Amino acid sequence: MTTTAQAPPGEAKPQRKSSPKMSPQGSGKLAALLLSPTFVVLALVIAYPLISALRESLYRREEGVDESGFVVEGERFVGIDNYTAIFQGEVADRFWNAFVNTTMFTVVSVAIEIVIGVSMALVMHHALRGRGLVRASILVPWAIPTAVSALLWQWIFQSDGVANAVIGQQVLWTAEGQQAFWAVVIADTWKTAPFIGLLTLAGLQIISTDVYEAARVDGANAWLTFWRITLPLVKPALLVAVLFRVLDVLRMFDLPYVMIGARKSSVETLSMLAQDEATNLRYGPAAAYATVLFVYVVLVAFVFVKLLGADIIGEARTRRKEVKKRAPVPAPSTAQAGVGV
Amino acid sequence: MMVGARALRGAVALAAAALLAACGSDSGNTGGGGGGGGGQPAALEGRGEITFVSGKDTSGNMQKLIDKWNTDHPTEKVRIVELPESADGQRQQMVQNAQIKSDAYTVLNLDVVWTAEFAANRWVVELPQDQFDLDNYLKPAVDTAKYRDKLYALPVYGDGGLLYYRKDLLDQAGLQPPKTWTELIAACQKVRGLPGTENMGCYAGQFEKYEGLTVNFAEAVQSAGGTIVNEDGTPAVNSSQAKTGLDTLVQGFKTGAIPQQAITFKEEEGRRAFQAGQLLFHRQWPYQWALANKTDGSSQVVGKFDVAPLPGVNGPGSSSLGGHNFAISAFAKNKATALDFIKYFSNEDNQRSNLLATSQAPTRTKLYEDSELVQKFPYLPTLKASIEGAKPRPKAVKYGDVTAAIQENAYAALTGTKSADQALSDLQKKLEELTKQ
C-alpha cells in the first residue's frame, strides 16, 4: 500500500512539467476550480461542525430558575471555564476514571484483537478449500451493528445467561466491577478482531511466494518464517488496521452504554461523559468533553504515525533495496524492523 | 498518514455534528409559551392538522382511535409520529424538537417524570384546568401533570407498583399476603421450609442502575414514612425514615432474601425469574400480569400468583407513580385542535378501549370499579389502591441529574461500596446542590 502510494509522486512530477500545453499557473487554477466542490463539502461537514463545537464549548446555558419556576433562558460566554471544570473536584475523579477506562480498553482490546486477528488471517490465508466461506463467516461479527451486538452480548452475560452456564459459575457481568470491563473487552474483540484479520489477510496475499521458497531453501522453520518474513512484510497493512482500531476504541460508546449501562464507573468512557452532559442539556460542558477527547485522539494518532509510520516508510525503502540486491532472506535489517513491532 | 488523519477528523466532526444537532444555540424569548406569573394561561388557538408524538403503538389501538378522530374531524386530522421505544430516546427527540422550536410536534406523550422539566423550560404550554373533569381522575396521577400548581398535561396512562406473590405457595404454608416487610421475610422463611423451595429468592424489584432503581429506592423510602424531596421542593433524604427504608433493601441483599443477581434486574430480568418460579415475591408493574399468565409455555407460574399492595415498614407501603401524560408543545400550531384531541383521547370510552387493547392502566377512577373490566383484569382494585397511595418521583427541573444522583448512591449502598448512612448524606448534599435556585 505504502509502496504504491510512494512511487507516483516521484514519477508524476516530471511528467507534468514536460507537458507543454498548459502553464503551471493555469493548471493550478483549474485544479483549484475542480477541487473546490470537494473543499466546500469538507468545509461544511468537517470544518463547520468542528469550529462550532469549539465555540459551543466556551459557552454555558443558564441553569437557574426564576421566581415563577421557569428556567432562565439564554447562554453566556464562560471562556475556558468548561475546560477547567473538568479537572476540578469530583468531576475530575470521574474524568480521570473515564480517561483510564478509555485508555485501558484501547490497549487491552487492541492487543488481544491483534493476536486473534493475525491468527485468523493466517488460517484464512492457508485454508485452500472453502476459503471464501471461512472469510465470509469470520466477517459476520464485523457486519453486525455495534448496538445490536451489545444487546446480543447482554443476553449472553446476564445472570441466567449463556456465559454463566458455560463457566458454571454465577458471575454478575453487568454489575459494577472488573468483570464488566472484561465483558466489554470480550464483546469488542469478538466484533472487531475480524476487521484486523481481513486487513492482515489482504497484506498476506501480496507477499510473493518466492520469498517463502527462498526461506525454505535456506532451511528456515515455520516460526522463523513467520517471525522474519511474514510479520515484517505484513506489517504495513497490519499497522493501518491497528491505527484504525485504536482510533475506533478511543471513541467507544455504544458497547459499554448498551451492554453494561450508563454511569457505571467500571466501564464509563470519555464519549459517555460527553453524552451524559448533552442529555442533561449542558451542551457547553459536553462540547468541552468532546474537544478534550478530540485532542486526545489526535495526540494518539500523531504519536502512532510518528513512531510507527516513519518505520513503515523506512522499511519499505529497505525492502526495495533488498529486492534490487536480491539479498538473502532473512536479511538482518528486516529482522530488526520486525522486532520493532 | 493522510488517510488516517482525515478519517479521524471526519469521525470527530461527525461526533461533533451529532452533538451540535442536539442544540439550537439561539437564545431569546419563546413565543406562545405558558403564561408566566399568576392569571389565566394564554388561550390555545388555531385549528388544523396536528401531530401526535409518542413511543411505539404496540397494540395498534392508538392508530384505531386516531382513525376514528380523523373520520369525525376531516379538517383537523392527526398524524402519529412514532419515536424510539426507549424512554431516553423519546425524551431526546422531544428535547431536540423544542431546542430548534420546531412546529413538527404538537401533542407530546410525556413520561410522568418529565413534566417539571418540560414545563420549566417552557417547552409545553399551560392547560386550562377548568376545561377538564379532573375530579374524575386519580388524584396522584393528576398531581404528576402539575408543575408549581399549574396544569401542563393530562394524565392518560397510569401505572403503579404491585407486589406479585406466589399464591400457591403462600396457601400451602397457610399464609396471607404480607402487609409489612417483616411479614414478608417471615412468610418467605416459612415457604422456604416447604419441600423444593429451599433455594427460592424471597423478593426482587428493579435494582440495576437505571430509572427502575430510582423507583424502587423511592418506594423503599416512602414505605418507611420518609420522602426524598419535600412538598416545598427541598431534599429531605437524610432522615431516619429514609435510612430504615434503604436499610431494608441493603439487609435484603446481605441476608440473601434478595438474590444477589437482582442487582442486575431490570423489569424483564425480574419477570423471567418470577416466571421461572425463582421468586416468591416480586415488585413489578401491572404489565407482568398478562405475560406471566400466558399459557404458551413461557411461564411456569400460570394461575399460581396474585397481586397485593406493596409492603411497608409498619403498614402498607407506597408506590412510585408511573404512566404517561399528554401535553401540547409550545412551538406547535393549531393548539385548539390539540386540546380537543387530548380531551378526546382521554375520555372514558377511549381509556376503556386502551385498557382492553394494551392493558395499560387508565387514569379515570371509574374504570377501576367497572365490573366487566375487573373481571378481565382482576388486579385493578389492587392497582387502584396502589396508585391512590402512590407518590410521584421528585419533581425536579433537572430530573436527569436528580435521578442520576439517586441511582449513584442507592446502587453504592446496595452493592456495599458505601454505608446506607454515607449514601444518604451524600445524596442529600447532591440533591441540595441540584435543587437550589
Identify any residues that bridge with A77 across adjacent strands, giving them in sequence order.
A59
What does the mean pLDDT of chain A come to? Answer: 84
**Residue B208 in contact with partner chain A when CB distance is under 8 A:** yes
* B268 close to A (CB below 8 A): no
Q: Is B124 helix (H, G, I), strand (E, B) or coil?
A: strand
* CATH code at position B335: 3.40.190.10
Does B181 share its domain with B309? yes
Partner-chain contact A69 B148, CB within 8 Å: yes
Alpha-carbon distance B168 to B292, whole Å?
14
pLDDT at site B40: 63
Higher pLDDT, A284 or B59: A284
List CB contacts (< 8 A) between A59 and chain B. Answer: 25
B379 within a domain of the structure (yes/no): yes
Nearest CA in chain B to A172: B261
In a domain, B5, yes or no: no
Q: Is the per-residue pLDDT at B45 higher than 80?
A: yes
Q: Is the peptide bond before A330 cis (omega within 30 degrees of 0)?
A: yes
Same-domain check for residues B236 and B314: yes
Mean pLDDT score, A18-44: 80
Q: How much is the average pLDDT of B275-283?
A: 96
Task: List the 105-144 stretch of A: residues with Cβ below 8 A of B.
Answer: none
ipTM topping 0.95: no
Q: Which of residues 225-254 of B touch A (CB under 8 A)?
A: none
Cβ pair B413, B253 in contact under 8 A: no
Higher-confidence position of B435 and B167: B167
Chain B residue with the nearest C-alpha to that of A295: B12
Same domain, B94 and B221: no
Instruction: Kindly report the number of other CB atoms within 10 A of residue B432's CB atom.
Output: 13
Residues B154 and B48 reside in one and the same domain = yes
Residues 30-49 (A) with a CB less than 8 A from some CB of B: 45-47, 49
Mean pLDDT, to the nearest integer, of B13-23? 42
Does B99 share its domain with B210? no
Residue bearing cell 381522575: B137
Same-domain check for residues B155 and B166: no
pLDDT at residue B25 in the model: 37
Pairwise CB contact (< 8 Å): A159 & B210: no
B217 and B101 co-located in one domain: no
Q: Name the domain count of chain B.
A: 2
pLDDT of A337 > 50? The answer is no
Average the pLDDT over B148-160 and give the result. Answer: 94
- Has residue B4 got a pLDDT over 60? no
> Residue A322 has what pLDDT?
54
Q: Which three cell numbers stand for residue A276?
A: 451524559
Residue A15 has pLDDT above 70, yes or no: no
pLDDT in tens, A100-148: 999 999 999 999 999 999 998 998 888 777 778 888 888 899 999 999 9
Closest-CA residue to B286 (of B189, B149, B378, B404) = B378
With beta carbons less than 8 A apart as the criterion, state whether B259 and B253 touch.
no
Across the interface, whether the CB atoms of B120 and A71 are under 8 A apart is answered yes
Asked if B326 and B147 count as a contact pair (C-beta separation under 8 A), the reply is no
Considering only CA atoms, which of B119, B113, B114 is closest in space to residue B149?
B119
CB contact under 8 A, A69 and B120: yes
CA distance A236 to A226: 15
One domain, residues B272 and B406: yes
Contacts with B100 (C-beta within 8 Å, 6 or more apart), sequence order: B24
Interval A285-320: pLDDT, tens: 999 999 999 999 999 999 988 887 655 444 555 555
Per-residue pLDDT reduced to its tens digit, B318-353: 999 999 999 999 999 999 999 999 999 999 999 999
Per-residue pLDDT reduced to its tens digit, B295-315: 999 999 999 999 999 999 888
Is the pLDDT confidence value at B263 over 60? yes
Nearest CA in chain B to A43: B13
Contact yes or no for B13 and A49 at CB 8 A: yes
**Do residues B373 and B401 both lie within one domain?**
no
Alpha carbon distance, N-terminus to C-terminus of chain A: 18
Task: Summarize the confidence of residues A238-258 as an average pLDDT.
Answer: 93
Q: What is the mean pLDDT of residues B106-113?
A: 96
Q: Are residues B44 and B181 in the same domain?
A: no
Residue B280 shares a structural domain with residue B404: yes
Q: What is the pLDDT of residues A47-68, one digit of tens each?
A: 999 999 999 999 998 878 888 8
Whether B11 is in a domain gets the answer no
| Angstrom distance (rounded) from CA B127 to CA B132 | 9
Domain membership flag for residue B4: no
Nearest residue in B to A293, CA atom: B12
* Candidates B3, B11, B22; nearest CB to A251: B11
Closest partner CB to B29 (pick from A73, A159, A243): A73
Which of B13, B28, B404 lies at the smallest CB-CB distance from A263?
B404
Q: How confident is the model at residue B39 (pLDDT cuts 50, 70, 90)?
A: low
Residue labelled with grid coordinates 484483537: A113
Strand B154-160 to B321-328 pairing: antiparallel
Interface test with chain B among A60, A73, A169, by most B beta carbons within 10 Å: A73
B7, part of any domain: no
Q: Tell me which residue range forms the domain holding B114.
A: 16-160+321-388
Torsion region of B303: left, alpha or beta (phi above 0 gives left; psi -120 to 50 gives alpha): left
**Neighbour-count burial for B54-68, b at 16+ CB within 10 Å, e otherwise:** bbebeeebbeebbee
Structure pTM? 0.84
Q: Is the pLDDT of residue A274 over 50?
A: yes
The pLDDT score that the predictor gives to residue A325 is 53
What's the mean pLDDT when you consider all of chain B?
89
Q: Which residues pair with B160 in a beta bridge?
A: B321
* Contact between chains at A70 and B36 (C-beta distance less than 8 A): yes
Kindly report the backbone phi and psi dihedral angles of residue A129, in degrees, each rounded to the nearest multiple of 5, phi listed first: -85, 140
What average pLDDT does range A153-160 have in this prediction? 93
pLDDT at A68: 82
Can you tell me which residue has the cell 441553569? A63
Bigger pLDDT: B11 or B208? B208
pLDDT at B23 over 70: no
Q: Is residue B10 part of a domain?
A: no
Q: What percent of chain B has pLDDT over 90?
A: 79
pLDDT digits (tens, 9 = 90+) for B377-420: 999 999 999 999 999 999 899 999 999 999 999 999 999 999 99
Please report which helix (H) or strand (E) contains residue A185, including its range.
helix A178-205
Q: Are A185 and A271 in contact (CB under 8 A)?
A: no
> Which whole number is the average pLDDT over A1-24?
46
Under an 8 A CB cutoff, do B264 and A175 touch? Answer: yes
In this structure, what C-alpha cell is assigned to residue B380?
Answer: 385493578
In this prediction, residues B43-71 reach a mean pLDDT of 91
Say whether both B295 and B330 belong to one domain: no
From the list B14, B22, B27, which residue is nearest A283 (CB)? B22
